[in-house]
Amino acid sequence: MSQSIIELKNVNIYQGDSIVLSDVNISIDKSEFVYLVGKTGTGKSSLLKTLYGDLELTNGEGWVVGHKLRDLTWKTVPFLRRNLGVVFQDFQLLTDRNVNENLKFVLRATGWKDDNLMNEKINEVLEKVNLKNKGLKMPFELSGGEQQRIDIARALLNSPKLILADEPTGNLDPETSDEIMQLLFHICRDYHTTIVMATHDYMVINKFPARTIKTENGRVWDNVSIV
């Protein structure tokens, strides 16, 4: 195996018995920033779910951060996900806990036990997203952009090699979207984290150009041009 963070070879992706994407061949390396585009219903979400082990791979070969997707079981999926960060469009923060407790919840769920180490890690990721003074704030006290930054901080907790970002600017105004994009490119460049970002926003892609993969007509097309 090469040093690819994502490698899919001759993969067919199914939802139930229906094939969604056929003959998928993708290779994405360390520190790459890649957009994933495509109309609703063309398989974008199914592809992302396959990458983080939510959709079983039964056909073809796939590796994500060193884990062979065909070999995943319910017991081993958590080990894959410790090397991944997922950023959601709707933030998915726990509304009854402050920022620190939101982040601590994830650390505990992924096996952390030492309170001092957890607090250090929380401070570290909040500093990376420029929100070090927001740890005691409740989610409703934060702007949309700040909540998205907390979501990104949460994705960074286990120092992932790969972040899958699903429409991270979808609910944000253009100025805040620019800030989030600058942050994601900074994380990609300075921490050598591979980022795959699903988006419908072609204005963002034109402003922050990068390799673009498209789902269309049951196939995945690489290096497409967005005009």
Mean pLDDT of all residues belonging to the chain: 92
**Paired residues of 24 in beta bridges:** 11
Domain count, the chain: 1
Phi, psi (deg, nearest 5) at residue 25: -130, 110
Establish if 121 belongs to a structural domain: yes
Q: What is the mean pLDDT of residues 86-106?
A: 90
Q: How many residues does the chain have?
A: 227
- The residue range of the domain holding 146 is 94-159
Establish if 144 belongs to a structural domain: yes
Strand duo 67-68 + 219-221: pairing: unpaired
CB within 8 Å of 164: residues ≥ 6 apart:
48, 51, 52, 84, 85, 86, 87, 196, 198
Phi, psi (deg, nearest 5) at residue 89: -70, -40
Establish if 111 belongs to a structural domain: yes
CB within 8 Å of 181: residues ≥ 6 apart:
169, 204, 207, 208
Q: Which of 17, 89, 79 is nearest to 48 (CA)?
A: 89
Confirm whether pTM is higher than 0.95.
no
Establish if 34 belongs to a structural domain: no
Establish if 101 belongs to a structural domain: yes
Establish if 150 belongs to a structural domain: yes
Lowest-confidence pick of 80-89, 135-144, 152-161: 80-89
Q: What is the mean pLDDT of residues 203-227?
A: 91
Whether 22 shows a pLDDT value over 80: the answer reads yes
Residue with tokens 């939101």: 102
Establish if 88 belongs to a structural domain: no
